[in-house]
């Protein structure tokens, strides 16, 4: 497990800094952009020392083991371990908060306000509106479900058109509505928006990734462009075959 210093939040950062200054590690006048590097180096030295002594690596200890380790060190190191343990606990809470979804939730019109508008501060919500029996709906449902598992920090919900938007026309299905902080920030209507019959999880990931603060994608190009190019080549090949 690698250690990475997090920016100070409330008193947590100042506690780290106070400990390091007392131990003569941190210059009182250090620049803010140098602080993370110093803290990282100090923790790595602690981890290396623990490994050399045959003790369990701090990064591999659970919270109970970290608490027990405080009984075997001097007062300064005890403060260091306590701060480290608090940092680990905060990281665990942050990770749990960001990974609390992971699957598609079914909603109806009655659930909309609670599940979409009141999803939580800075929680992106990807709403898929589909209709059973339509091929395009089935295709997008699969893409939607795969991304829900891949990006558990994003909330994915699905609603049957007739149960969410009365008289919603078939030509608009599937539709994806992107919400954040009780506001609609983007909408894609109809299968063609997703690449038609070539719609894929990657295409949807790219589209959502282009909207700031929704999800981080490693894709470097729009998969829909590659699919469109392939369709054009297939059409040209078919035309050439017809000429013979």
- Residue 164: pLDDT band (50, 70, 90) is very high
Pair 90, 145 in one domain:
no
Residue 2 in domain: no
Question: pLDDT digits over 217-238, tens only?
Answer: 999 999 988 766 565 555 455 5
Pair 226, 110 in one domain:
yes
Q: Is the pLDDT of residue 92 over 90?
A: no
Task: With 0.85 as the threshold, say if the pTM is over it.
Answer: no
Domain of 209 in residue numbering reads as 105-232
Q: Is the pLDDT of residue 1 over 50?
A: no
Q: Average pLDDT for residues 180-204, to the nearest whole number?
A: 95
- Residue 39: pLDDT band (50, 70, 90) is low
Number of domains observed in the structure of the chain: 2
Residue 86 in domain: yes
Residue 161 in domain: yes
Burial (0-12, 13-18, 19+ Cβ within 10 Å), 207:
buried
pLDDT at residue 182, as a whole number: 95
- Where residue 204 sits, what CATH number does that domain have? 3.40.30.10
Q: What percent of the chain has pLDDT over 90?
A: 48
Pair 122, 203 in one domain:
yes
Higher pLDDT, residue 134 or 91: 134
Highest mean pLDDT pick, 1-10, 39-48, 69-78: 39-48
Pair 162, 228 in one domain:
yes
Which of 80, 98, 116 terminates a domain? The answer is 98
> In terms of DSSP bridges, do strands 125-130 and 175-180 run parallel, antiparallel, or are they unpaired?
antiparallel
Residue 164 in domain: yes
Q: Within 10 A of 65 (CB to CB), how many other CB atoms are there?
A: 12
3-state helix, strand, coil in the chain (%, to 5): 55, 10, 30
Which of 98, 133, 168 terminates a domain? The answer is 98
Pair 82, 119 in one domain:
no
Phi-psi label, residue 127: left if phi above 0, alpha if psi -120 to 50, beta otherwise: beta
Which of 67, 98, 129 terminates a domain? The answer is 98
Q: Average pLDDT for residues 140-145, to the nearest whole number?
A: 97
């Amino acid at each position: 497990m690698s250690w990475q210093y997090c920016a100070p939040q409330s008193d947590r950062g100042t506690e780290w800094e106070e400990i390091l200054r007392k131990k003569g590690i941190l210059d009182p006048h250090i620049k803010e952009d140098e602080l993370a590097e110093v803290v990282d180096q100090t923790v790595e030295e602690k981890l290396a020392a623990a490994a050399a002594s045959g003790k369990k690596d701090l990064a591999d200890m659970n919270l109970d083991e970290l608490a027990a380790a405080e009984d075997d060190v001097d007062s300064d190191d005890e403060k260091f371990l306590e701060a480290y343990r608090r940092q680990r606990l905060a990281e665990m809470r942050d990770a749990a908060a960001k990974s609390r979804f992971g699957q598609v939730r079914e909603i109806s019109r009655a659930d909309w306000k609670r599940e979409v508008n009141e999803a939580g501060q800075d929680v992106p919500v990807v709403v898929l509106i589909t209709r059973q029996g339509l091929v395009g709906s089935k295709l997008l449902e699969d893409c939607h479900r795969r991304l829900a598992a891949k990006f558990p920090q994003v909330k994915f919900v699905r609603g049957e058109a007739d149960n969410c938007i009365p008289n919603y026309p078939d030509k608009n299905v599937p539709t994806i509505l992107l919400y954040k902080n009780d506001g609609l920030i983007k909408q894609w209507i109809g299968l063609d928006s997703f690449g038609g019959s070539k719609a894929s999880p990657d295409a949807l990931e790219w589209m959502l990734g282009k909207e700031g603060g929704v999800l981080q994608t490693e894709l470097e190009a729009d998969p829909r462009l590659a699919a469109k190019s392939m369709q054009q080549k297939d059409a040209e090949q078919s035309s050439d075959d017809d000429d013979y």
